[in-house]
Amino acid sequence: MRLLQYLYFHCMTLATCWLPDLRPILRFRGFLLRPAFKSCGRNFQIARNVTINFSNRLEIGSDVYIASGCWLHAWGGIVIEDGVQLGPYVVLVTGDHTRRDGSFRRGPCELGAIHLCEGCWLAAHATVTKNVTVGRGALLAANSVATHDIPPMALAGGVPAREIPRRSRIEIVG
């Protein structure tokens, strides 16, 4: 079954890669790709040149947008809740290499799930590693790497990503 879902995903992305990334096309492509996933909500929008490995272990909510060039490795499981946006070239990787006999090539893979909560946004070139939850309404800044959980409604950035404190507004009364 997994192989059929992956082949279906690959064939549909190849069949639609020549179409421009306009909103109706993004929705059409998302509609065509729904059977390739473990589950998929309504109004799924996906751009061209997205790579998804182990699509049968990917759960997608409603109103999700995945931009061009994203790479999702779902072997350990990925849950993307409603209203999540993935910017261009976002990387979600649920596996990690380990060393055996002095080589990372021979070591077994360690897996862990990724959970993107409702309404969060991962900006361009952000990376999320295994066993990480990005909280509801959180923003992971561009070029950041999340190696631990991001709290709800947080703005996080850097390598590794840390919460960026918000400054309170200064009002001048005059």
> Domain with 98 in it: what CATH number?
2.160.10.10
Question: What would the pLDDT profile of 67-98 be if each residue is shown by its tens digit?
Answer: 999 999 999 999 999 999 999 999 999 999 88
Domain that holds residue 111: 2-160
Question: What would the pLDDT profile of 32-76 be if each residue is shown by its tens digit?
Answer: 999 999 999 999 999 999 999 999 999 999 999 999 999 999 999
Q: Say if 121 falls within a structural domain.
A: yes
Taking the CA of residue 5 as centre, how many other CA atoms within 13 Å lie in the half-sphere pointing to its CB? 15
Q: Say if 172 falls within a structural domain.
A: no
Q: Say if 166 falls within a structural domain.
A: no
pTM for this model (two decimals): 0.90
Q: Say if 174 falls within a structural domain.
A: no
